[in-house]
Structure 1
């Protein structure tokens, strides 16, 4: 047995211990978007296993279409006092697109409101023992190892306490490229295995090549080990789920042979900054209404959000192998927003995709600042716009196509909103300053004036605002009706104060995000790729000069819009005030909402408080206590030199190494060759590592031959030091 000292404890690590279990390979064929044979659709085990009531779609979507038609007609009536000119036609088209977009959410929220009111607590599942195996997958990319491994320990112990530990195996699937983080992951793994003991199976694999990002990470696991598991419970690096929720997902999957995927609705937790707390409060208070409505009308054609969901391995591997899109990024290459596409492919093959809106106990974290939101949304924006290449895929269900369209519109709506504002301003300025020389092609004695019905426009504006804010109003009403969660969130008065604060801050942030998303859409359309950056989780503060630089164009746009509006009239400036206020105040809004200290004060005062903060679930408390253990452990983690020089850690690392892809003769990797030369040139491990670039250090860590050479260099160095000590 090898003894490893960590946390001031001696951990026994078997010589046979390895990162992963024996391989159990299975096929995961790439799916075609051009061709699909209807004969390939599986026959449901239950006659109505994949049946969705059509009347639900008719009720929700029919209402949305009716509202959209009415709103578009009203806007036409506002503009059509005279003959429509070009700018008025543009305003009408842009209004039609943006207004129709919000009516679907409004109609679904009405249904969701009544669902939430009627559903006071999650449905209890019959306690049937699990008979099938579930692999819990935690993909990670340069994240904090302590957070990941403490979450796994907390969840695994909770499931063990429920008596279902044997049904779950735990996998950390690492794509980490930072050498120091990779070392910390391996150290944390040994701590986790020691603390859980032999009754819980915890595995770890770090890929050599990070192809296709998270989707490729999960697909690689499926192809090599997926054959041993019936279900995949996919988490994110910031996920936390209660044992009851995870077990219930597995039971539902076992009970429904036609279920391909069951998605929970995650709640945001651990928000410290105001930005994180805004999102946390919104998803907790308004989210159930929106999510329940969506789950109700989509029924068996639900969606997948990439994590906190359970998937039938057979359905995933046989039907959801992602295609490689022709061309280069941003629209070609690997599918980035893979989750929507995987859900669509699973449903196409004849499996159901369900959103379990009745299940609580599913949690994740949110970005801490506007700038971090922008970084994340840039990547999401590219992936969602890429769905334009997928939405016309052969055989997809029309509801799956609607999910893809929703993802696309979630980002296109920002430039459409911006264009609507600019077109509205152009219309007002045109009427104020430009001479009426707009004659139609037909002979007329009078010019065509841009005239609108002001009274009708005001009524339409108020109605549109009602449609836009209705989900929030319904959400707060449904939240306050539940006495238990209302009291846990601080009582009616504090909840209402939080509601007002959220509305104000969200209104200030919205125009900033509008420009951020518009810029992201533009950069994608001109061919810029987003890349892959790790997500910050805690403090979102940056130096003031960096904040000013990030928001410089937002402030400039605010000044321009304000100036042009003021040149026209004070009424136009008042109409634009909600948009320009956030832009003019972009820097202070960004600084205040990203500050950890300000967010901590808001938390202490109970502002934007959620029920889970008032009475933390047991899993929260256990996670925070466990996180302290791993945080202390990280302080004792060796650096790269110490890791390679340690015989104990080097021995463990060799058993953790992922398999190397075969290399053809003559196919020389330049990074590998340079790394080998630098190891050969060095006289010590520290010198060798000092010679290397970050890519070369990662190559040495991942390559068993190069790592072995570095270890032999360390042995030679130790023997030389022992020899010198003996002579002395």
Structure 2
């Protein structure tokens, strides 16, 4: 029987979520009462009351992560979870499936060699499996500009020829880029959705093994009520210090947290937008994204589409499951703090938009909580910032005004404000346990239960690596708090943001970039710390772990962006991950293929980024572009012949670099002029025109 369609898991979620709610609310209430007893005036002033309220919300928030980790540890210790979707792998299919799957790579101005290396790796891994013929790969490009478009198209053609993958790997560049990635996937569904039963949605840096893709196909076939099946991707691929810290945290703590999420979410899980399997027919029918009323940033197109699509899929009666124990799924993480924070600014806007969907009709309570949880991922930073400002204000106020010994009502005896530093230390220690105890549980699971510590450098190096990760997390947390607070504020104030491509290479942050990005925060930290030091030196030491990293955010950002220290730690087997100690074939392949593609010379010794010029001069690329135009019936649309002649005359007189973006795109859709310009470049004045263009 298909246990995903029986009510057993639904009744289990009720019990599990009730227990989780009690585990969060009861300690939070006790902590709120306790913090009131710590404050000098016992919470009787408006300022202290505000401190208690903010702290109680924050305590509840960090309790969610703590208990998720505890439940995840419990799940992994048992080694068997009767609701795990992976059990379907032991159940044979009644007949061989004929379901076809499209593996989607939505890209936008990405590093082309890395993208093609990931596609090549996934394709070759699939070819080693019996179900390879059921998978096609589609590259869905939203890249802007003629150069990037032509670079991708040429790289795709080279890859197809190398692999013999004609009619197996496809490429399409959208002419009109609506709704970013969600619009890109929706466009594919409209064009090709009826030809496939499933789609496996990737990111530009995603890699999955063919065995994992086949396993997900098997699970979806055996569990026909699953609409979305999400994996828990492992991070790999970078050598900068920050990336290695994130990769290490993901591989050490991630499995336990993923198991904890599965424990209380079950069929109401999240979809993270990539490394997931989706049933196309219900996705097309039920997961169309509404356009929010009002103007951006809180109105307009929904940016963080994945959570919303999961909620809509679940509302339609289809399960959304996290395959927490399914290996063979990877992604990369941001290589430096600047790229991480730029990504977080986009995610912040998208997650805050979800608050407008909290009361959408028909949504399951679990997904309303997930919307709130996603918003709190960034709003909590503003709450921490508010808590620290209120606490600092209380300390400064006590120093300037002094305590009030007599209340407004008549009393024979004065009211003596009492400050209990020991109680404050107990409160701080309790908060620290919530934050850091799960890390020790992860160490225990790796060393004692799974006995995989050798993949992390051994028990001692693993413990030392956890200490290093904790230290840098503590240093970087105040910087992230400050920026996330800023992102929430500017989003609520209605300021729009860009949506550029992510940095995926190990290029370090320059001092100029660090000054521009962190300079204002560092000055704020100096002002904040200086005022507190001036009026309340004792309290300064309480906030020093927050203020000092903010003041030194510029060198921290630069240091963590370099790969020198990261490589040194790797050489010492610190912050080591299994993908470095004993990499899977797919990890070795994508690394090697990326390096080979980056080192492969471009014909005519042209820069790789000069895709438009290569289309004009390279006979093979020029012929490819014209053949694709003939096959797809593309044309220049409403562009007049006079305009085309002006563009041609301009390029002949002043060269390809003088054309605007739109002029280049127009020319790339006219096969006849591409052929004529290519011929002229090679024949006119014995090739002098070509030489002039290449200078």
TM-score, normalization by structure 2? 0.90
1:258 aligns with 2:221: no
Residue 55 (str. 1) matches residue 15 (str. 2):
yes
The correspondence of residues 639-658 of structure 1 with structure 2, limited to 5 A, is: 639-656=611-628
Q: Any conservation in 2 of the 1:683–1:713 contact (CA below 8 Å)? A: no
Aligned residue for 1:238, secondary structure, equals coil
Higher mean Cα deviation, 531-540 or 69-78? 69-78
Cα deviation for residue 577 of structure 1 reads 2.0
Q: Residue 143 in 1 paired to residue 110 in 2?
A: yes
Q: Give the match for residue 709 of structure 1.
A: 673
Extract unaligned runs of 5+ from structure 2. Answer: 690-695
CA gap of 1:131–1:439, structure 2 versus 1, over 3 A, is: farther
1:537 to 504, 508, 522: 504
Q: Is the CA contact 1:319–1:349 (under 8 Å) kept in the aligned structure 2?
A: yes
**1:501 and 2:501 are equivalent in the alignment:** no
Shift of 1:698: 3.7
Please tell me whether the aligned partners of residues 210 and 216 of structure 1 are also in contact (alpha carbons under 8 angstroms).
Answer: yes
Return the alpha-carbon distance in structure 2 between the equivalents of residues 508 and 217 of structure 1.
Answer: 38
- SS state at 1:172 partner: strand
Whole-Å separation in 2 of the counterparts to 1:447 and 1:677: 93
1:77 aligns with 2:37: yes
* Residue in 2 that maps onto 1:457: 424
* 8 Å contact from structure 1 (residues 274, 599) kept in 2: yes
SS of equivalent residue, structure 1 residue 475: helix
**Offset of residue 558 of structure 1:** 2.1
Tell me the residue number matched to 1:15.
Answer: none
CA distance in 1, matches of 2:73, 2:586: 28
Is 1:327 equivalent to 2:294 in the alignment?
yes
Q: CA deviation at 1:435?
A: 4.2
Matched residue, 1:512: 479
Contact 2:117-2:590 within 8 A present in 1 as well: yes
Q: SS of 1:551's equivalent? A: helix
Q: CA deviation at 1:363?
A: 0.6
- Equivalent residue, structure 2, for 1:88: 48
**CA distance 1:76–1:607, change in 2 (3 Å):** same
Task: Determine if the alignment matches structure 1 residue 427 to structure 2 residue 394.
Answer: yes
| Structure 1 residues 141 and 434: CA distance shift in structure 2, 3 A | same
Alignment of 1:459-478 (within 5 A): 459-478=426-445
Q: Which secondary structure does the structure 1 equivalent of 2:600 belong to?
A: helix
Decide whether aligned partners of structure 1 residues 453 and 724 sit closer, same or farther in structure 2, where only a CA change above 3 A counts.
closer
The Cα shift of 1:161 comes to 1.0
The structure 1 residue matched to 2:89, chosen from 125, 129, 134, is 125
Q: Deviations over 1:541-564 (max 9, x none)?
A: 132122122111221122123223
**1:177-212 Cα shifts (integer Å, max 9, x gaps):** 143222221121112112221477000000011110
Classify 1:589/1:234 alpha carbon distance in 2 versus 1 (closer, same or farther; 3 Å): same
> Alignment partner for residue 376 of structure 1, among 343, 352, 364?
343
Match of 2:693 in 1: none
Q: Following the alignment from structure 2 to structure 1, what is the Cα–Cα distance between the partners of residues 374 and 365?
A: 14
Aligned-partner Cα distance in 2 for 1:538–1:628: 12
Structure 2 CA distance for aligned equivalents of residues 110 and 86 of structure 1: 36
Deviation at 1:473, TM superposition (A): 2.2
> Which residue of structure 1 lines up, in the alignment, with residue 357 of structure 2?
390
Number of positions where the alignment pairs a residue of Structure 1 with one of Structure 2: 674
Whole-angstrom CA distance in 2 between matches of 1:674 and 1:445? 97
Q: Tell me, in whole angstroms, the C-alpha distance in 1 between the residues paired with 2:682 and 2:597.
A: 30
Give the 3-state SS of the residue equivalent to 1:51 in structure 2. Answer: helix
Q: 1:132 to 1:82 in 2, by over 3 A?
A: closer
Greater share of residues in helix = 2
Secondary structure of the corresponding residue to residue 286 of structure 1: helix
In the other structure, the counterpart of 2:305 is 338
Which residue of the partner structure matches residue 107 of structure 1? 67
Deviation at 1:482, TM superposition (A): 4.4
Checking the alignment, whether the CA contact within 8 Å between 1:49 and 1:352 is kept in structure 2 is: no
CA shift for structure 1 position 402: 0.9
CA distance in 1, matches of 2:628, 2:273: 27
Aligned residue number for residue 317 of structure 1: 284
Contact kept, 8 Å, 1:159 with 1:243, in 2: the verdict is: yes
- Aligned ranges 1:299-314 → 2 under 5 Å: 299-314=266-281
Alpha-carbon separation, structure 1, partners of 2:511 and 2:366: 45
Q: Is the 8 A contact 2:650 2:659 kept in 1?
A: no
Q: 2 CA distance for matches of 1:524 and 1:559?
A: 26
**Contact 2:464–2:574 (CA<8 Å) still a contact in 1?**
yes
Of 213, 235, 240, 2:202 maps to 235
- Call closer, same or farther: CA 1:120–1:273 in 2, change over 3 Å: farther
**In 1: Cα distance, 2:401 partner to 2:641 partner:** 69
Change (3 A) 1:195 1:723: closer
CA contact (8 A) 2:396 2:536 kept: no
> How far is 1:484 from its partner?
4.3
Q: Does 1:628 align with 2:595?
A: yes
Alpha-carbon separation, structure 2, partners of 1:403 and 1:649: 47
Of the three residues 250, 260, 269, the one matched with 1:293 is 260
- Give, in whole Å, the separation in 2 of the partners of 1:426 and 1:447: 24
CA deviation map 1:651-682 (0-9, x unaligned): 31244469799999xxx79xx99974641433
TM-score, structure 1 length as denominator?
Answer: 0.87
Partner of 2:89: helix, strand, or coil?
coil
Deviations 1:91-148 (A, max 9, x none): 0111012111111111111110122233399879247554311100000011111111
Question: Separation in 1 of the partners of 2:419 and 2:626?
Answer: 75
Measure the CA separation in 2 of the matches of 1:410 and 1:661.
45
1:594 to partner: Cα distance = 0.2
Question: Alpha-carbon deviation of 1:521?
Answer: 1.3
Q: Give the aligned CA root-mean-square deviation in angstroms.
A: 2.9
Counterparts of 1:180 and 1:251, CA distance in 2: 40
Shift of 1:359: 0.8
**Which deviations, in whole Å up to 9, do the C-alpha atoms of 1:292-331 show, x marking residues without a partner?**
1011111110001000000100121111000011122111
Quick check: 2:286–2:312 contact (8 Å CA) kept in 1? yes
Quote the residue 1:29 is aligned against.
Answer: none
How does 1:344-423 map onto structure 2 within 5 Å?
344-423=311-390
Residues 724 and 249 (structure 1 numbering): CA distance in 2 closer, same or farther, change over 3 Å?
closer
* 1:158 and 2:122 matched: no
Contact 2:651 2:659 in 1 (8 A): no
> What 5-or-longer segments of structure 1 have no aligned partner?
1-42
- Structure-2 residue corresponding to 1:209: 176
**Matched-pair contact (CA < 8 Å) for 1:166–1:200:** no
The structure-2 alpha-carbon separation of the partners of 1:485 and 1:218, relative to structure 1 and needing over 3 Å to count, comes to same
CA distance in 1, matches of 2:60, 2:4: 38
CA 1:405/1:716 → structure 2, altered by over 3 Å: closer, same or farther? same
Separation in 2 of the partners of 1:661 and 1:295?
A: 47
Give the distance between the partners of 1:290 and 1:107, measured in 2 at CA: 9
